[in-house]
């Protein structure tokens, strides 16, 4: 592998790679604003200027003040190159820290802050802003300009999700490129030049494609802010935990940012994964966190309609077990969930096997609009995992369940999850059955028709895994603790089995996972 | 109720145990300086064995430093030796500045010297006054303590607080000297001399004072060295070690002053060394006032270390960012570790700091001078009388806030 030297460190590179790219791969950051590993190269911010110390030196003329002579005299200085556009060559020696580069970095930074508004106290980006970081690292001087800064539009609505502040903008064009190259929709562009530069919408358009939040995500400063996150939280109070998006079968990797003080998730951010989502997530996926604290089922309950009564957790387990006791396995329908983790589904499949149930159904959300970027038509994160958990057995659709109830082939139902394509009206025949037990994290049609509903943890409170459409199993940990008294579904199922006097062959998540590995091997 | 003595059998022979009596003193005892416990074995009134147990004032100082920024350590440092907080403040500032490899402007260095020496004067007067009081001489205590009030008047005018100033800053001081600073200090100096003279008149020819101080609580030079004792206690044994002289910091190498040493290492020598050090501090202050420039910057010129002016913070983005970074993340230090030491009120006050390159100390270790003095106090007390514990321990000047941290 050819190598170049950056600040005394040898870095290998693939031919054709830029200096920035190779350094980034090695985990070395050359200061930059406009370069993004997932976007094309613009080389317009000039922050990544470096000095090529090897080879023939390119010199630029400049005037230097000569104290003795009392006048400016001609001199030269090195011509610096933007590292993001500089193709690496074997044996190249590059400095990103010598005096000339430091001067360039400080000057670029000073120029960028020349007309910047004093917005940090009210800016959502404060605390994760590159202008702040690089000011501290590379500038560290106070303002020299005494005149009023140039004023530009603030609080411009770009669309339903994004607000733009032209004064904060450093014109790196990352948002334009993300629209062009990721969303394939040239809806943003730039107008004017110099001081008057600003990002604008295409005439007659709004920023309303499926990846608008990525413009905010790539914005290195606070110019683009998301309507959803705006003024909601200060980032230095947020903690971050890795998670996997529950929006569709792509299974984009995300960071869930939550405030540990109130246990609330405030936003998702894409987590880089070259094999799944690269650097991106879609808008709907970014917003899946809102489901976490919306329409949650927190209290176990027994009965239906007006007669539904809240009960304690232990009582709910006993009552749930009573409903399932003595049911003929042939007449028991077990509903797996494409929204729940593979582990949850596996535990349920094991219970179904222990009870002799052979009629397995799959509850899933209806498909949504897919595209060839990230969005999969399957609106469920774990259809493949649920199928795997069932041991490859054919899973019936929940749509067939009402008919099976009416025909008398189903007399009892044990259902996981809330997500169904079917409405309450369509599931109404289940109300005729006395034995319908629902394990669910949220309210929905299935819990509504259940005679016993037991709350379980949702994907943000769970140690589990999803199998995406490509067949990749991606595990994730709990972001937040589950509400008091609420357990993950696999644990609730285990407790239910104990009430029923059944041994499911696992006692912990580890032993359950071993079962999963076995199931996967058996399927091969 | 029956009187208790009726229960005694007066015919029985009075039996006195031959074993030493074990007695606890402290941790909360009116005669103890600070919360410290002494477990002693007494043969009559003579100490045959002694266990000095510190730890009752442990605040977790060093651990607390690991969760704030570098600048947030100042209030903790104030409360180390709280009799001379300014010396701790400056000590901490110098340690971080050593890590940052910066030097504060000359004016600030003189300012630090003068404020520090004033604190040392207050510290020594307090200790000596207390020593006298512990021998029953209450008047000298009040006469000496009034000096502390005068010093604190000046420190209050300069810093806004009489005792816990939190006035030091990394890269400078919180405020420049006030316009009347030099005059205030100069006006105090004759008064200081007067009180030193008065102390000598009151105490140095007092038979009781002499008998209780001379030849009591002796620490040999060898013991002092082996225990790592520094400061006035070490100097009283004849070790001429003074950080200001031997490893000059700030601008101490520009002053002409002497390091007083004793011969016997007894209470008397410790008292006299402190008394003389007050005179030497006054000499330093006089020279520093003369040399200190009247204008010029107090803080280093780097908004990444020192807070920019409030006015600039409110009106320019650069200062806003600098302020934000310093508040939210703290000033960033290079990776590494340093040991920086200064002459505190009780001896060598050292800060060993380890930085992982972030805005928060990775580890802070304080070398508190009186920790070592305290360890050596057992040697001073053993074989002495129980009544001598009080003045001897007073002259060791153990400060709980510094010793236990």
- Mark which of A258, A293, A328 sits at the end of a domain: A293
Which residue does chain A place closest to B317, by CA atoms? Answer: A118
Across the interface, do A142 and B320 touch by the CB < 8 Å criterion? no
pLDDT computed for residue B6 by the predictor = 56
At residue B4 the predicted structure's pLDDT band, cuts being 50, 70 and 90, is low
- Pure H helices in A356-473: 383-389, 401-407, 445-449
Query: Using the beta-carbon criterion (under 8 Å), do B304 and A113 form an inter-chain contact?
Result: no
Compute how many other C-beta atoms are within 10 angstroms of the C-beta atom of residue B219: 28
Would A149 be classed as within a structural domain?
no
Nearest residue of B to residue A237, measured between CA atoms: B328
Verify that A378 and A456 share a domain, yes or no.
Answer: yes
Which residues of chain A lie closer than 8 angstroms to B314, CB-CB?
A: 118
Highest mean pLDDT among A389-393, A511-515, B11-15, B278-282: B278-282
Sort out which chain A residues have CB atoms less than 8 A from B304's CB and list them. Answer: 136, 140
Average pLDDT over residues A56-85: 89
Query: Cβ of A135 and B328 within 8 Å?
Result: no
SS3 B374: helix
**C-alpha distance from B325 to closest chain A C-alpha (Å):** 7
Count of residues in chain B = 405
Q: Domain check: are A420 and A315 in the same one?
A: yes
Residues A174 and A272 occupy one common structural domain: yes
- Give the pLDDT confidence of A183-208 residue by residue, as tens digits: 999 999 999 888 889 999 999 999 99
ipTM of predicted complex: 0.83
CB A116 within 8 A of CB A148: no
Single out the residue in A82, A112, A142 at which a domain terminates.
A112
Q: How far is A116 from chain B (nearest CA, A)?
A: 7
- Quick one: A166 and A286 in the same domain? yes
Residues A181 and A66 in one domain: no
Q: What's residue B201's pLDDT? A: 87
**Residue B324 contacts A where some CB pair is shorter than 8 Å:** yes
Residue A521 has pLDDT above 60, yes or no: yes
**B159-191 core/surface letters (b: 16 or more CB in 10 A; e: else):** beeebebbbbbbbbbbebbeeebbebbeebeee
Going by the DSSP 8-state scheme, the letter that residue A418 receives in this structure is S
Q: In what order do the strands lie in the sheet with A81-82?
A: A9-12, A3-6, A93-95, A49-52, A81-82
User: What is the distance between the alpha carbons of residues A357 and A340, in angstroms, rounded to a whole number?
Assistant: 20
Average pLDDT, integer, range B270-281? 92
Which of B91, B170, B33 lies closest to B344 in space, CA to CA?
B91
Cα separation, A116 vs A149, in Å, equals: 7
Distances (CA, A) of A522 to A274, A386, A389, A392, A511: 29, 15, 11, 10, 16
Q: Which of A110, A120, A138 should we substitute to test contact with B (largest number of B Cβ atoms within 10 Å)?
A: A120
Contacts of B308 in chain A (CB under 8 A): 142
Whether residue B303 lies within 8 A of chain A, CB to CB, comes out as: yes
Q: Are residues A106 and A164 in the same domain?
A: no
Distances (CA, A) of B272 to B124, B214, B263, B380, B395: 10, 11, 11, 17, 11
pLDDT digits over B335-366, tens only?
A: 999 999 999 888 899 999 999 988 899 999 99
Predicted pLDDT of residue A237? 93
All structural domains of chain B with their residue ranges: 4-53, 70-403
Q: Are residues A16 and A50 in the same domain?
A: yes
In a domain, A284, yes or no: yes
Quick one: CA dihedral B18, B24, B30, B33, positive or negative?
positive
For the segment B146-184, what is each residue's pLDDT rounded down to a tens digit?
899 999 999 999 998 888 888 989 998 988 999 999 999
Mean pLDDT score of chain A:
91
Q: Is residue A287 included in any domain, yes or no?
A: yes
Q: Which domain holds residue A487?
A: 301-523
Count how many domains chain A has: 3
Interface size between A and B, measured as CB pairs under 8 A: 51
Q: Is residue A427 located within the same domain as residue A453?
A: yes
Residue A249 pLDDT greater than 60, yes or no: yes
A508: Cα separation from own chain's centroid:
28
Distance CA B213, CA B217 (A): 8
Chain A nearest-CA distance from B312, in A, is 8
Please indicate, yes or no, whether residues A38 and A97 belong to a single structural domain of this protein: yes
Chain A residues lying within 8 Å of B319, measured CB to CB: 142-143
Judging contacts by C-beta atoms under 8 Å, the chain A residues touching residue B318 are 113, 135, 139, 141-143
| Mean pLDDT along residues A286-295 | 91
**Whether residue A361 is found in the same domain as residue A500:** yes
Q: Are A261 and A280 in contact (CB under 8 A)?
A: no
Q: What is the CATH classification number for the domain harbouring A11? A: 3.10.20.740
Cα–Cα distance, A105 to A137 (Å, whole number): 10
Q: Does position B370 have pLDDT exceeding 60, yes or no?
A: yes
- Residues of A310-348 as b/e, b for ≥16 C-beta within 10 angstroms? ebebeebbebbbebbeebeeebbbbbbbbbbbbbbbbbb
DSSP A357: -
pLDDT tens, B68-116?
899 899 998 888 888 889 999 999 999 999 999 999 999 999 999 999 9
Q: Is this prediction's pTM over 0.80?
A: yes
Identify the CATH number of the domain in which residue A163 sits. 3.30.70.20
Q: Choose the closest CB to A142 out of B303, B325, B328.
A: B303
B303 min Cα distance to partner chain A (Å): 6
Residues above pLDDT 90, as percent of chain A:
68
Q: What is the DSSP letter of B244?
A: H
CA closest to A137 among chain B residues: B304
What residue has token string 């003795």?
Answer: A68
| CB A31, CB A134: distance < 8 Å | yes
From A117, A127, A143, residue closest to B318, measured CB to CB: A143
Phi first, then psi, for residue A17 (nearest 5°) are -75, 150
Residue with tokens 């580069």: A101
Cβ B126 vs Cβ B83: under 8 Å: yes
Q: What is the pLDDT of residues B18-60, one digit of tens each?
A: 788 888 887 887 777 778 888 888 888 888 988 888 888 888 8
Mean pLDDT of A391-410: 86
Q: Which residue in B284, B340, B364 sits closest to B112, CA to CA?
A: B284
Q: How far apart are alpha carbons A53 and A102 in whole angstroms?
A: 14
The band of A155, judged by pLDDT with boundaries at 50, 70 and 90, is very high
A311 and A267 in a common domain: no
Residue A523: per-residue pLDDT: 67
Q: Is the pLDDT of residue A349 over 80?
A: yes
- Class of B70-403 in CATH: mainly alpha
Q: Is residue A178 part of a domain?
A: yes
User: Quick one: A74 exposed, middle or buried, by C-beta within 10 A (0-12, 13-18, 19+)?
Assistant: exposed
| Angle separating helix axes B267-291 and B181-203, nearest 10 degrees | 160
**Contact A359/A394 with Cβ under 8 angstroms?**
no
A393 and A469 share one domain: yes
Structure confidence at residue B8 (pLDDT): 61
The DSSP code for B217 is S
What is the C-alpha separation between B144 and A236, in angstroms, rounded?
51
Q: Is the dihedral of CA A39, A41, A45, A48 positive or negative?
A: positive
C-beta separation of A350 from A514 below 8 A: no
State the nearest Cα–Cα gap between B93 and chain A, in angstroms: 21
User: Contacts of residue A142 in chain B, CB cutoff 8 Å?
Assistant: 303, 308, 312, 316, 318-319, 322
Task: Note whether B314 contacts A: Cβ–Cβ < 8 A.
Answer: yes
Grade residue B2 by pLDDT with cuts at 50, 70 and 90: low
**Is 60 exceeded by the pLDDT of residue B269?**
yes
């Amino acid at each position: 592998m050819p190598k170049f030297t950056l600040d005394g460190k040898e870095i290998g590179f693939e031919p054709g790679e830029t200096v920035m790219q190779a350094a980034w791969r090695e985990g070395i950051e050359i200061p930059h604003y406009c370069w993004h590993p997932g976007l094309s190269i613009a080389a317009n911010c000039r922050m990544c200027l470096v000095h090529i110390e090897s080879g023939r030196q390119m010199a630029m003329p400049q005037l230097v003040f000569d104290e003795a002579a009392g006048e400016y005299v001609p001199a030269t200085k090195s011509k610096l190159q933007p590292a993001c556009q500089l193709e690496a060559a074997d044996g190249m020696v590059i400095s990103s820290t010598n005096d000339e580069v430091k001067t360039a970095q400080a000057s670029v930074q000073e120029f960028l802050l020349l007309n910047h508004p004093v917005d940090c106290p009210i800016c959502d980006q404060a605390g994760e802003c590159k202008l702040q970081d690089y000011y501290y690292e590379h500038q560290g001087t106070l303002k020299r300009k005494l005149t009023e800064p140039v004023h530009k539009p603030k609080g411009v609505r770009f669309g339903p999700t994004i607000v733009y502040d032209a004064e904060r903008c450093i014109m790196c064009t990352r948002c334009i490129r993300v629209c062009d190259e990721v969303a394939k929709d040239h809806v943003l562009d730039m107008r004017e030049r110099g001081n008057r530069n600003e990002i604008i919408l295409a005439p007659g358009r709004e920023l309303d494609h499926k990846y608008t939040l990525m413009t905010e995500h790539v914005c290195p400063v606070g110019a683009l802010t998301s309507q959803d996150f705006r003024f909601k939280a200060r980032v230095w109070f947020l903690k971050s935990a890795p998670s996997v998006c529950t929006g569709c079968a792509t299974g984009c990797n995300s960071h869930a940012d939550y405030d540990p003080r109130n246990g609330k998730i405030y936003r998702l951010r894409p987590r880089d994964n070259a094999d799944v989502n690269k650097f991106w997530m879609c808008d709907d996926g970014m917003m899946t966190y809102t489901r976490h604290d919306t329409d949650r089922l927190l209290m176990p309950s027994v009965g239906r309609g007006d007669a539904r009564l809240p009960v304690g957790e232990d009582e709910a387990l006993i009552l749930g077990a009573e409903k399932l006791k003595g049911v003929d396995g042939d007449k028991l329908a077990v509903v797996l969930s494409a929204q729940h983790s593979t582990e949850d589904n596996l535990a349920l499949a094991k219970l179904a096997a222990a009870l002799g149930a052979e009629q397995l159904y799959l509850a899933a959300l209806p498909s949504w609009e897919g595209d060839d970027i990230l969005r999969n038509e399957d609106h469920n994160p774990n259809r493949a995992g649920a199928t795997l958990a069932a041991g490859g057995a054919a899973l019936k659709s929940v749509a067939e369940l009402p008919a099976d109830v009416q025909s008398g082939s189903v007399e009892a139902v044990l259902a996981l999850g809330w997500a169904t394509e079917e409405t309450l009206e369509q599931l109404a025949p289940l109300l005729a059955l006395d034995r319908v037990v629902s394990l669910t994290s949220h309210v929905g049609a299935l819990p509504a028709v259940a005679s016993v509903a037991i709350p379980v943890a949702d994907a943000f409170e769970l140690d589990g895994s999803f199998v995406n459409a490509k067949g990749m199993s991606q595990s994730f940990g709990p972001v937040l603790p589950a509400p008091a008294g609420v357990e993950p579904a696999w644990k609730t199922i285990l407790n239910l089995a104990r009430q029923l006097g059944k041994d499911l062959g696992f006692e912990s998540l580890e032993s359950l996972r071993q079962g999963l590995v076995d199931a996967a091997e058996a399927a091969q | 109720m029956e009187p208790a003595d009726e229960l005694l059998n007066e015919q029985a022979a009075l039996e006195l145990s031959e074993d030493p009596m074990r007695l606890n003193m402290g941790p909360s005892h009116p005669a103890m300086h600070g919360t410290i416990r002494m477990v002693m074995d007494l043969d009559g009134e003579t100490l045959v064995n002694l266990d000095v147990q510190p730890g009752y004032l442990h605040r977790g100082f060093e651990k607390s430093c690991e969760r704030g920024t570098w600048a947030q350590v100042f209030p903790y440092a104030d409360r180390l030796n709280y009799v001379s907080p300014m010396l701790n403040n400056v000590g901490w500032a110098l340690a971080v500045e050593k890590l940052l490899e910066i030097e504060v402007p000359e004016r600030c260095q003189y300012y630090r010297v003068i404020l520090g020496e004033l604190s040392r004067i207050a510290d020594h007067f307090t200790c000596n006054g207390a020593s006298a009081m512990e021998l029953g001489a209450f008047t000298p205590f009040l006469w000496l303590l009034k000096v502390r009030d005068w010093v604190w008047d000046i420190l209050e005018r300069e810093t806004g607080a009489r005792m816990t100033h939190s006035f030091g800053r990394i890269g400078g001081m919180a405020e420049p000297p006030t316009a009347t600073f030099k005059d205030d200090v100069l006006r105090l100096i004759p008064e200081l001399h007067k009180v030193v003279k008065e102390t000598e008149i009151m105490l140095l020819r007092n038979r009781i004072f002499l008998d209780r101080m001379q030849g009591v609580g002796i620490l040999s030079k060898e013991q002092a060295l082996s225990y790592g004792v520094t400061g006035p206690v070490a100097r009283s044994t004849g070790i001429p070690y003074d950080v200001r002289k031997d490893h000059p910091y700030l601008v101490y190498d520009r002053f002409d002053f002497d390091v007083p040493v004793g011969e016997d290492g007894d209470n008397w020598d410790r008292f006299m060394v402190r008394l003389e050090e007050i005179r030497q501090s006054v000499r330093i202050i006089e020279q520093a006032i003369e040399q200190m420039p009247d204008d010029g910057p107090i803080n280093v010129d780097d908004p990444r270390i020192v807070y920019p002016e409030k006015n600039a913070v409110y009106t320019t983005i650069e200062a806003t960012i600098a302020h934000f970074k310093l508040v939210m993340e703290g000033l960033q230090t290079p990776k590494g570790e340093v040991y920086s030491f200064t002459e505190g009120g009780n001896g060598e006050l050292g800060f060993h700091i380890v930085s992982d390159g972030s805005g928060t100390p990775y580890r802070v270790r304080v070398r508190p001078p009186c920790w070592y003095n305290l360890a050596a106090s057992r040697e001073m007390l053993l074989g002495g009388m129980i009544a001598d514990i009080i003045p001897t321990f007073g002259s060791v000047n153990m400060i709980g806030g510094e010793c236990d941290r």
